[in-house]
Amino acid sequence: MTKTTLFDLDGKIAFVSGASRGIGEAIARLLARQGAHVIVSSRKLEGCQAVADAIVADGGKATAMACHIGEMTQIEAVFAAVAEQFGRLDILVNNAATNPQFGHVLDTDLAAFQKTLDVNIRGYFFMSVAAGKLMRGHGGGSIINVASINGVTLGHFQGVYSITKAAVINMTKVFAKECAPLGIRCNALLPGITDTRFASALVNNEAILKTAMVQIPLKRVAQPEEMAGAVLYLASDASSYTTGTAINVDGGFLA
C-alpha cells in the first residue's frame, strides 16, 4: 500500500501574506515542506527574508517579497513581480490582517476604522482578484482566506475587526461561486484564539482569557502550527471538491 499524494504540493507556487511570523509563518513553512515554492510576504522585507532563508535552510523553496496589502500600489507591484518571476500562481493565502482598535465601539475613530477596512476587506479582495487573474490562465488554483471566529460571533471590544472578518467569510463565498468555472476554489479558515503577537491583547489579558476558556472545550489556546494543517488541506488536491466553505479551527469554541 502506497502513501497518499493528495497533500503533495510539488511544483506549486504559493503566496502567503503576513508570513513573517505567527500563523502566516507556520502556514508558509508547512506548504514548503509539502513541496510548494512559497512566496513569503509581509510589510517588511527583512522579516520575510528571515522566514524564507529558514525554509531554504530546511531544504525547501522560498522567495521573500514585501507587500503591504493595505496599499493598492504595493499589491499591483508584487503581483507584477510574481508574474514576471514565476509566470503563474497556484495558491494564495490571505493571512495579513490588522486590528488597531481594541475598545468600545463608540470610541472607534475614522483612522482605525479605515485602516481595518483597507487591509482586511479591500486588501483581501484585490489580492484575490490579482491572484485569480494569474490562476485562470493556468488551470485554476486555490484561494484561502484567513478569517476568524469573530466573523461568526463578535469579539469583545473588537467591533470593526469582527465586522471585517464577517465580510471576509461572505467574500469567500462570492469568489467561490463566481470563480468555480475557472477552476479556482476559495475557502476560509476561522482560527480561534491563537498564541501570536497579533492576539497578545487577548492571550495576555487574564480576565478575557479566563472567560474564553469557559467557551473552549479543549481548554487552551492554539499554537500557530495548529492552523497550518487546515490550510494545507484547502491548498491541496485533498480538497478538490471543497469550495465556498469556512473551516473552524477553534478548539470547539463555536460548537
Q: Per-residue confidence at 201, pLDDT binned at 50, 70, 90?
A: low
Model pLDDT, residue 242: 98
Active site residues: 161
Domains of the chain, each with CATH number or no CATH: 13-249 (3.40.50.720)
The Cα 11–Cα 116 span in angstroms is 35
Give percent of the chain with pLDDT exceeding 90: 88
Would the pLDDT of 159 be above 90?
yes
pTM: 0.95
pLDDT tens profile 161-179 = 999 999 999 999 999 999 9
pLDDT tens profile 39-92 = 999 999 999 999 999 999 999 999 999 999 999 999 999 999 999 999 999 999
Model pLDDT, residue 62: 98
SS3 (DSSP) at 246: strand
Model pLDDT, residue 5: 93
Would the pLDDT of 209 be above 90?
no
DSSP string, 38-96: EEEEES-HHHHHHHHHHHHHTT-EEEEEE--TT-HHHHHHHHHHHHHHTS---EEEE--
Q: Cell digits for 204?
A: 495576555
Give percent of the chain with pLDDT exceeding 70: 97
Taking the CA atoms of the chain, what radius of gyration do you get in angstroms?
A: 17
Would the pLDDT of 202 be above 70?
no
Q: Which residue stretches of the chain are H helix?
A: 22-33, 45-57, 72-85, 110-117, 124-136, 159-179, 200-203, 206-215, 225-235
Q: In the predicted model, what is the mean pLDDT of residues 104-123?
A: 97
Q: Per-residue confidence at 200, pLDDT binned at 50, 70, 90?
A: low
Q: What is the DSSP letter of 222?
A: B
Would the pLDDT of 207 be above 80?
no
Model pLDDT, residue 33: 98
Q: In the predicted model, what is the mean pLDDT of residues 22-26?
A: 97
Q: Cell digits for 113?
A: 476604522
Residue 165 contacts residue 150 (beta carbons within 8 Å): yes
The Cα 112–Cα 119 span in angstroms is 11
